Amino acid sequence: MANQLIGLLLGTEEDWPAMFERIFAELDLAIEHGGETHTFEVERITIEPFDLRSVPDYDLVVDRLAHWYYQPREWLKKVALMDDVYLMNNPFTFQSMEKHSAYCMLMRLGLKVPDTWLVPTKEPVDNERYAYTAAKYNTMFDLEQVAENIGYPLFMKPFDGGAWVGVSRITSPEQLHQAYDESGQRLMHLQASVEGFDAFARSLTIGPETMVMRFDPDKPMHERYQVDHGFLSARAGEEVLAISRLVNALFRWEFNSCECLVRGADVQPIDYANACPDVSLISLGYYFPWAISRLVKWAVYCTVTGRKMRVSLDLQPWFEVADDESLSYQDKLAEYDRLSREYFEAEAYQAFCDEHLSQVDDVTHGIVTSAWFDGLLVDTVTRTFPEYEHDEMIARYRGLSGAWAADQSATSTAP
């Protein structure tokens, strides 16, 4: 008997961890694999001092905290390096591969990333050596000329940011200087705006599975994910899928979201370093049950099969594809997708799910249509929104969850 302990490293979230725990409880798995019976427990991880030689009990950890809280990040590094704990996500590449490195990497692979420049911080960095170094080596530059090289409109955004914090759309030199003055000590990118795009696609990838969703960043958080199943052409949809998966396989991320703008036949990735993405009910709405059920499936697959976490990158196979002049852009995407599917063991994963986890969707459907889930929904809404919006938002999320359940029922009964 092998009891697999899955740890959840959490911040303020209550909704998705409760759903994750509930799915495991309802499944009550006992999987025969490799000559052993595998059972599962889920535990929320506490934060405390730790002995670097201590041996943790966890087989796998789902992390939604270490991107902003450094104590648990260092614990994750320790258990990955010393104890072979499988992590979602890799804390080493997530810390080092901020937006800037991700832009550089996808440009290196030949993807259609908009023109992007990095500019120095507006205010001096807080280091006593800065004044001497800047006086001797920093050259004066013309910010307006950099913007002219890119072309208006453009975006100014932090090189390592997230959640759209510090992002400004710039249409004039006056706005450019105002945004730069307000950036302070943050290192900023200037990036060309993709004007006249047909669709904004945000894709959530968990292991080898991806959900592509229509996204509207100008809406409030609870309205950004739009329920629209046919908003991309088949070719654009496949390209978004390929880009989403290659980013994760390349950086060793298991759990990440990717943003692409689609204009005509072009798919342009604009933000794809979002490891540890938001999967709350409030944000995802209709797509919430899909996301949590896929987290469960990938966690089970990795622990039962003994999949090893890969801490270091292996870039050469990707660069060989990028540098092969005999391949067209579409050929390169196909090769990148092959590498991604190999990394995530897509065929083995699907076979495992067919044999051992075929009931997950039905169990998830049963939970979403239960009184327990309605209680979770009401509690989440009332903790998130002001009292005068409670009735409206409860009705909204009941509608979205009901629509997902209805679509699942229709799919499961289709011939």
Q: What is the pLDDT of residues 210-222, one digit of tens each?
A: 999 999 988 998 9
pLDDT at 96: 59
Percent of residues, the chain, with pLDDT higher than 90? 78
Q: What is the mean pLDDT of residues 133-144?
A: 89
Are 254 and 343 spatial neighbours (Cβ–Cβ below 8 Å)? no
3-state secondary structure of 206: strand
- Strands 225-226 and 188-192 come out as unpaired
Q: Is a pLDDT exceeding 80 seen at residue 97?
A: no
Angle at 408 (CA atoms; ends 402, 411), nearest 5 degrees: 145
What confidence category does residue 175 fall into, taking pLDDT thresholds of 50, 70 and 90? Answer: very high
Please provide the average confidence, as pLDDT, over all residues in the chain: 93
Q: What is the pLDDT of residues 152-171, one digit of tens each?
A: 999 999 887 666 677 899 99
Domains and CATH numbers, the chain: 2-94 (3.40.50.20), 95-113+194-275+311-340 (3.30.470.20), 115-192 (3.30.1490.20)
What confidence category does residue 95 fall into, taking pLDDT thresholds of 50, 70 and 90? Answer: low
Are 47 and 72 spatial neighbours (Cβ–Cβ below 8 Å)? yes
Q: What is the pLDDT of residues 45-91, one digit of tens each?
A: 999 999 999 999 999 999 998 888 889 999 999 999 999 999 998 88
Are 9 and 65 spatial neighbours (Cβ–Cβ below 8 Å)? yes
Exposed e or buried b for every residue in 202-236, given b needs 16+ CB within 10 A? Answer: bbbbbbbbbbbbbbeeeeeebebbbeeeebbeeeb
Q: What is the mean pLDDT of residues 308-312?
A: 89
Q: Is a pLDDT exceeding 90 seen at residue 276?
A: no
